[in-house]
Amino acid sequence: KHHNVLHLVTCVPAGRLSAGPGAPAGRGRAPPGQHAAYEHILVERRGEGERVTLIQLNRPKSLNALCSPLMSELLEVVHQAEQDPAVGAIVLTGNEKAFAAGADIKEMQDKRFADVYRGSFLAFWGGVAQCTKPVVAAVNGYALGGGCELAMMCDVIYAGEKARFGQPEIALGTIPGAGGTQRLTRAVGKSKAMEMCLTGDMIDAQTAERA
Ligand code: CAA
């Protein structure tokens, strides 16, 4: 679980990831082929024997910005999948425009250092990396800031042609605060990691795969 792998693949058509009719009202594990009713994510069981839990980040208007309620829902489903012997793996995805454009800036903007430090802001995100079942990130569009960090917490990253990875936090006067400086260094090497963190520039899927 210490190294993740990046493959370049053609993305899954968006229609195959959209919510089907008749989604149940209750939270938690969905019946086969159906979504559980979370506010910020869509959850579905897929694959042979319904062994894959597919989680789609679903805040398209804010490019799937990772607000705390979204991350709480995500961690709840990851934890459930981990406990469920019928689940073999988890796939985490977004949409064609964005995997996730980062932590939610609107939620973060008024926080002071002391709030963040005392409240261990973002610490619980690490539950994705600690999951004992394989977690695959299917990335298309923007994977920026916390979105890039979340993808790197997964075991394998499959990137579509439109994927763009970046750590633009420096433009906000902050740093990749959810492990990005360390995970990016392990994933792409120190030089490229430093370049990305210090410039905020994005790289495309081909460059990411080469790196
Ligand atoms: N948080 C909250 N809202 C966000 C967001 C974010 N990270 N990224 C985008 N949005 C919102 C925008 O505010 C906008 O909402 P409104 O329509 O209500 O104004 C909507 O999503 C669409 O965004 P844009 O109009 O900006 O779309 P665009 O196509 O012109 O640009 C983009 C796309 C280049 C990704 C641009 O949205 C952008 O630069 N986003 C911010 C990326 C960023 O800085 N991410 C790092 C966040 S900090 C972080 O993640 C800390 C950490 O280490 C955990």
Please identify every residue annotated as catalytic: 103, 146, 149, 169
Cβ 111 under 6 angstroms from ligand 1 = no
Which tens digit of pLDDT belongs to each residue from 63-104? 999 999 999 999 999 999 999 999 999 999 999 999 999 999
Query: The pTM is what?
Result: 0.89
- Phi and psi, residue 161, nearest 5°: -60, -30
Q: Which domain holds residue 130?
A: 5-210
pLDDT at residue 37, rounded to an integer: 86
CATH number for position 93: 3.90.226.10
Measured by CA distance, the residue closest to atom 4 of ligand 1 is: 62
- Which residue is listed with tokens 């008749």? 22
As for how many domains the chain has, the answer is: 1
Distance 65 CA to ligand 1 centre (A): 7
Identify which of 118, 122, 115, 162 has the alpha carbon closest to the alpha carbon of residue 138. Answer: 162
| DSSP-assigned beta bridge partners for residue 208 | none
- What number does the ligand 1 atom closest to the CA of 171 have? 44
**Residue range 27-44, pLDDT digits in tens:** 545 555 555 589 999 999
